Structure 1
Amino acid sequence: MVYRKNRKAHLAMAFLFLVLTSNFLLYQTGVQEFLSLQVTSGVAIGSLIDLAIIAPLLFYAAFKITIKQTIGLMVAGLVIARIFIPFELFAPFAGILYTGIAIEALLVLAELGLLFLVIWKVPQIRKQMKKMNEDPIYSMLPAIEKVVTKNVFIQIFMSEILMMYYAFFTWKKKAPSYASVVTMHEKTSAVAINIMLIHAILIETIGLHWWLHEKSLILSIVLLLLNIYSVTFVLADIQVTRLHPMEIKSGKLYITQGFASRIIVPLSNIKEVEWGGSPPSKNTVKFMYKDFEEVDPQAIVYLHEAVQATMFLGMKKSVTEFAIRVDEPEKLKHLLQDI
């Protein structure tokens, strides 16, 4: 799911907010009395159309989502309508809600079936990864796509498995060290910032969880689970940062920015490397580690043809240019001088 970032998307989000807000206020007793409104079954039908059809279409206009995700939003719209609309008005349309939930349940069962298929084909996936001869951060998702299928649910689930692998099972591994390796994080505070973030999350978890536990047990448990996930993600990010510097091997350029983004670019596809040029545009993907001070890219790489970068949760993004910052720019210039 990617926001489209254009005028139509902004308008769609504005109308979506208007649709949701107006339908929520419509069934508030205070608003009905103030405006002298008489809510009838016809109004309920209008809300069903708004929440189950109009709102998902507006969301589809604002975000790049699949038809299957749009169907899920329609079912969610029916659930929201059940929450907004009083029971006596919604009762005649309850069958629509149950039908929608049944359809969504079938889709979920199909996704779970694909998940079991992935588990069944683990030996083939591992064989494909070995055949690709690349690190798991680069090879795991492509191997699953080739052996099983391209599916958003599987993509997200296996990205979480990959995150846990790097967070808990890679601490004895060492970063590669040979002539065509260029580090990206050693002269930054990226790892230190992540360690500080873990400390902040742990302190916040202890203090806020203790306070929330007395107020709302469910909310405290949800917050605890979110914080555990956050710490796991940051640990994985530290490990990927440490273990995967920029590499040039087998005629390809390998770059990661922690666990959040990564890309493989054939050297033959590099059109131009602009050193110290103009600042990158908003659409330029940046492979630069954060520091306590704002840093600028050292170079922008332009490609002949677009390649797919893998982003957070395994999402794909088409890239024709990207910005980079490394610890030894002169070494990288030397490695790329023949391009």
Structure 2
Amino acid sequence: MRRRIRIAASGLYVCLTASVALAQGGTPVALRVAVAPPTARADSAAIPAAVSQAWRPASGARAPWWAPVLSGVVPGAGQFAMGQQRSVGYLVAEGYLILQQVRARRDANRDRDAYRALAFEVARQPFGGERPRGSWDYYESMEKYLESGAFDRIPGGSIDPETDESTYNGARWLLARETYWLNPAVAPAVGSAEYQRALAFYQSRAVPAAFQWSWRDAQLQRDVYAQTIASANRSVQRAVNYVGLIGANHLVSLIDAYVSVRVRRFGGAGVVGMSMESIHTVVEPVGDPRDGRRQLRTAIRLVPERR
């Protein structure tokens, strides 16, 4: 049976290409398989140009066992130790990705400082006081609600929650009533367990006086605030995407180095009568050249085992 498999596979060239996009939005890792006819050669149209005789490992070439580990830590370092020119591609990709990640994080921090300053100087300015810095959820709520509403409508004595349901605090009090009262429109006795549980719920979620805000008569500034938060969110997402691409670059470099070491030491790994002959990695454009998108492409060539 194995003999038949080897005969059927004889002369077939299989190229496996793993692509990692170096675009801002990121692209999923893709695996593509192409099979060429037995008569195809390395320079034919049936085999990707990335696989060529020039990149076939020479006999007796250096193959240190620690090269994959080195590539996992610093992409391209293992390839450099084996004298492979594609090490430059991994290093360039790593530098580019790190630079873009740092730039995205810088943009996110700049936008964060901008929307915090806008909230401090416009929406919170009428209420004075220290106006301490809030959490991310707080600034997100400022985008959704025109006003926070009062925390305690009548100062002194017990807390009187905000009743204007169009405000942030008013919406929290409505939620508390719907959660703990039998009828949110009919208040139970102030001393009852239902009322006290609703009040505790409100106190834990409502915005206190030190964080009160209002965008009334400042719609233009509110629009700018919303745009700045959206820009900050996009920058944060870009930074996260680049972290993932950096990790993918490390992984691809590690696998590349491992395969190269195995090919040089043992002549490749046998797969149903096939063995790995060569491997090559290139950086190439993706889509419209004007977009400046690039992908890291690794091609592996399998040939029939010699018996």
TM-score under structure 1 length normalisation: 0.23
Question: Larger Cα Rg: Structure 1 or Structure 2?
Answer: 2
Bigger share in helix: 1
TM-score under structure 2 length normalisation: 0.25
